[in-house]
């Protein structure tokens, strides 16, 4: 009989890993709150129609990557493949967008049925940020300043680079798409197979094809840049000025085209070269049309999503996880002999009250004193507290430093709390 195991591409995050996750999540949460962003929590499942209408019927995500199933009453439901659609739905449904500005964020798992590889999983985690009701490039710039700040806080500054582009309004894009297809059709047989296919499905994506002969043909192709509408151009120019003023380095990548249908005007990606093929660590853009498209009043919007797995992979690959990010104990309380068991539990509890920041682990599960000391060492604790029948009789406990050569001391319980409070300060 086959062993039951996790679904392909859906990973367990084990205790070894969770401190890094918490570090990233806590850091992001702190920065977002500094900028005045509010958390919103949405369900993981939505009506299938929501994603079809927002992401685009003909995208790969909707066509072949969604986890879609029928509810018991026959409704078609889908595990969210991204967060923006649900966020817009929730905000609109509860009147959060009417005549006001909003800065929102959320985090959680997303689901796409893709072939897993490095940095790409079927259940993956994003932190998404969405801003509503602000038309100008200032909020675009704020989002990029915010992300740059995040890299700094995570220790990733200098390990990611920013690429930006403007893809204009959907009208401008439509005209350009036509021109591009017309041009490329002249060379159709010289294009690589994937690009020939994309000629039908998503011509703009041919722009970043890696195929050499396709690239050669693209050199003479019409440029999206020259098809931009006036407003988009002005918006983009102003955004660049704001980024320059803020000291955010970027490159304009004319081939940068986001895959989801709802984007327009500003699009951007933070990319690393240290993760192989899945180097996009954060990506987003403006989507002024989406709220209306989903049945709300016209509402300007811009946002981005970060892939947590990729960020964590990057921190680990570059060995940038700070040393303090671990689940090490501070104090390990041993109990020697049956008579010490109850006092040891009581002492540990006293220490937790006296040292609210410290991790105090009680030895449980028996074993020789030697093995208790081994476990104290393994726990990463800086101090072992030793409680045997002698100490219980004397009303004392032994305090043994595990990471230095200082001698072991025998202290009363009160002295022990004070000594540990002092010792754990730095």
Site residues for RNA per CB under 7 A: 2, 5-6, 8-9, 59-61, 65, 82, 112, 114-121, 124, 126, 194, 198, 202, 205, 209-210, 258-260, 269, 276-278, 280-283, 305-307, 309-310, 336, 367-371, 373-378, 384, 386, 388-391, 398, 400, 402-403, 408
> Which among 202, 154, 196 has a CA at the least distance from the CA of 177?
202
Min CB(283)–RNA separation in Å: 3
Beta carbons of 50 and 86 less than 8 angstroms apart? yes
Min CB(98)–RNA separation in Å: 27
Min CB(424)–RNA separation in Å: 16
Min CB(194)–RNA separation in Å: 4
**Phi then psi for 270, rounded to 5 degrees?**
-95, 125
- 231 vs 406, which CB is nearer to RNA? 406
Pairing mode of beta strands 76-79, 67-70: antiparallel
Which of the 8 DSSP states describes residue 405? -
3-state secondary structure 87-119: HHHHHHHCCCCCCCCEEEEEEEEEECCCCCECC
- 228 vs 314, which CB is nearer to RNA? 314
Min CB(169)–RNA separation in Å: 19
Min CB(117)–RNA separation in Å: 4
- 10 vs 234, which CB is nearer to RNA? 10
Min CB(207)–RNA separation in Å: 11
In which element (H, E) is residue 399 found? strand 396-401
- 16 vs 230, which CB is nearer to RNA? 16
What is the Cα Rg of the chain in Å?
A: 28
The rounded distance, in Å, linking the Cα atoms of 397 and 416 is 7
Interior/surface letters 389-407, b for 16+ CB within 10 angstroms, e for the rest:
eebbeeebbbbbeeeeeee
The rounded distance, in Å, linking the Cα atoms of 280 and 336 is 54
> Which among 82, 217, 234, 130 has a CA at the least distance from the CA of 172?
234
Lookup result for tokens 């098809």: 227
Residue 244: C-alpha distances to residues 87, 141, 239 (Å): 31, 10, 9
- 65 vs 190, which CB is nearer to RNA? 65
- 126 vs 166, which CB is nearer to RNA? 126
Min CB(59)–RNA separation in Å: 5
Task: Please tell me whether residue 154 adopts helix, strand or coil conformation.
Answer: helix
Q: Is 387 exposed, middle or buried (0-12, 13-18, 19+ CB in 10 A)?
A: buried
Min CB(43)–RNA separation in Å: 19
- 103 vs 310, which CB is nearer to RNA? 310
Min CB(63)–RNA separation in Å: 9
Beta carbons of 358 and 352 less than 8 angstroms apart? yes
> Which among 143, 99, 138 has a CA at the least distance from the CA of 283?
143
Taking phi first (over 0 means left), then psi (-120 to 50 degrees means alpha), and beta for anything else, what does residue 69 get?
beta
- 204 vs 358, which CB is nearer to RNA? 204
């Amino acid at each position: 009989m086959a062993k039951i195991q996790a679904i392909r591409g859906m990973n367990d995050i084990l205790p070894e890993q969770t401190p890094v996750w918490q570090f990233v999540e806590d850091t992001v949460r702190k920065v977002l709150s500094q900028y005045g962003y509010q958390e919103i929590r949405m369900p993981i499942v939505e009506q299938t129609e929501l994603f079809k209408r927002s992401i685009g019927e003909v995208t790969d995500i909707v066509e072949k990557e969604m986890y879609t199933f029928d509810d018991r009453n026959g409704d078609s439901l889908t595990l969210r493949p991204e967060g923006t659609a649900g966020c817009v739905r929730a905000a609109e449904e509860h009147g959060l967008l009417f005549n006001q500005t909003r800065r929102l964020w959320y985090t959680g798992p997303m689901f796409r049925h893709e072939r897993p590889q490095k940095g790409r999983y079927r259940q993956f985690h994003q932190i998404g940020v969405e801003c509503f009701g602000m038309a100008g490039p200032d909020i675009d710039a704020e989002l990029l300043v915010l992300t740059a700040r995040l890299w700094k806080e995570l220790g990733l500054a200098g390990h990611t680079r920013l690429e930006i582009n403007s893809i204009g309004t959907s009208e401008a894009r439509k005209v350009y798409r036509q021109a591009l297809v017309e041009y490329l059709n002249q060379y159709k047989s010289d294009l690589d197979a994937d690009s020939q296919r994309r000629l039908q499905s998503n011509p703009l994506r041919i722009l970043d094809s890696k195929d050499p002969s396709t690239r050669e043909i693209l050199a003479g192709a019409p440029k999206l840049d020259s098809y931009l509408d006036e407003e988009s151009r002005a918006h983009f120019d102003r955004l660049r000025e704001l980024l320059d003023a803020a000291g955010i380095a970027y490159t304009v990548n004319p081939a940068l085209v986001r895959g989801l249908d709802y984007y327009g005007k500003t699009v951007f990606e933070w990319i690393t070269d240290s993760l192989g093929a899945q180097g996009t660590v954060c990506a987003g853009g403006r989507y002024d049309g989406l709220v209306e498209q989903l049945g709300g009043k016209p509402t300007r919007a811009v946002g981005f999503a970060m892939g947590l797995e990729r960020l964590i992979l990057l921190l680990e690959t570059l060995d940038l996880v700070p040393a303090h990010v671990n689940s090490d104990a501070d104090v390990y309380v041993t109990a020697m002999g049956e008579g010490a068991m109850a006092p040891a539990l009581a002492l540990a509890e006293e220490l937790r009250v006296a040292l609210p920041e410290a991790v105090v682990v009680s030895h449980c599960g028996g074993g020789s004193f030697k093995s208790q000391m081994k476990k104290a060492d393994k726990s990463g604790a800086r101090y072992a507290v030793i409680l045997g029948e002698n100490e219980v009789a004397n009303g004392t406990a032994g305090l043994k430093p595990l990471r230095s050569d200082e001698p072991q001391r025998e202290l009363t319980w009160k002295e022990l709390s004070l000594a540990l409070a002092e010792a754990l300060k730095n």
